[in-house]
Structure 1
Amino acid sequence: MRFITGCAVLAIFFSASTHANPLIDQLIGVTNQYLEREVSEYARSLGGDPRHEIRLSRLDARLRLPLCAEDALSAQLESPDVPIGRVTVRVTCNGPSPWRLFVPAQVSLYQHVVVSSRPLQRRDVVSAQDVRLAERDTGLLGNNYLLDPAQAIGMQLKRNVNADTVLGHTQLEQNRLVQRGDKVVISAGNASVDVRMPGEALEDGTLGAQIRVRNTRSNRVVRARVTGPGQVEVGM
């Protein structure tokens, strides 16, 4: 079966016309119906019943292809993997005169995400007073957002942010309890022996991270696990 496709067909979606065209109506109808179903199902899977909006790109009314019987018409998400953000829907007619078209659209999904409640500075540690929930279009955010303030509390800012900034992995990192050059206490021991020595961190470390530290008494460099601010532990 030979489908009508090609660059000329793809280009039709970037010009506008006010003339009525039954094919355009059919494309709009099947694409909207498909996206409404897919987006609603995806939104339900997230919980909380977030609202959504679907906006199709304007189609060129000069397009001349045969109308397709409803039972021969199908739609499928071409890209991306989830029906959110900038999407492309592949509409296919499997009738006697088959054709295939690609319809671009913008899908907005509004969820309550974590934002900064005030301006924050690089290396600030986020507290409960620093964040709040606000509704944003997550279709524009990719994966760079959080839904629970607890996910941000205790994290450290990678850069300065303004108030009402959406917080995600590009702005936050694990709090570095030890930084390179810090004076630290090196602990080593077991149930019966507890030895503490002064040391210097040779690299940054978050809670539980293994970092290099120098024992400032012996000048020996060892690997130790960060257990708290200024505290590291080595095994015996």
Structure 2
Amino acid sequence: MRRNRFTQLSQHPFWAVLIIFAGITASYNANANDDYLMQQVHQFLYEETQTLGEEVVIDLRPPSPHLPECVQPEPFLPNANQAPLGRVSVGVRCGEGSRQVRYLQAQIDVIGNYVVAARDIERGTLITSNMLSERGGNLGDLSAQALTAEEDIVGKVAQRSIRSGSAFLAQYLQAPDLIERGQRVTVIAQGSAFRVSREGEALESGALGDQVRVRFGSREIMTARVASEGILVVDF
């Protein structure tokens, strides 16, 4: 009976050693590539979270073994405006020109201090520093919309009642309007070598940093940035 040539060779001790060695080498290369990718992502997450609290614990799940090698990995956060806390998805651009993108999952726990309400706060209340207290814990257990710093809370208006001991959520706070619709306002136009001002009428209300329309006379309308109470600025 004729036997397949590969079968015959594979039964020879020398070829068996080569086949085993090749399998070990491929497995070693895959593990080394995954280890490098994990190190890059872990370092990226550490740099993004080291200022959030006193202690950071990062649990990063390894990539799928079925994915090809990620060459020149460049980690990034898909939602750059949100603090990387709790369960986080981390994007990684791979290859020349970063044409390939894959995602890894991580659990990030940060032990630190955050702000809570020191007493019950009614809807419509302008929040001041004496309404706040500090608490320590795992920031990763908080809602993704939680505000942890006092400067992000003081001066805002509660859009719903907040119970004592509760964290402050961004969607329940709003900056107070510094400009009211129909109000007479001062508009300052400024550039590198000039600064002029004129009075106008606000056509809409706005909080600090908002862009609102202002009317001068009967026809001229322009957009300006709210800088303070009754003051808007146009930068040139």
With normalisation by structure 1, the TM-score equals 0.47
Query: Larger helix proportion, structure 1 or 2?
Result: 2
With normalisation by structure 2, the TM-score equals 0.47
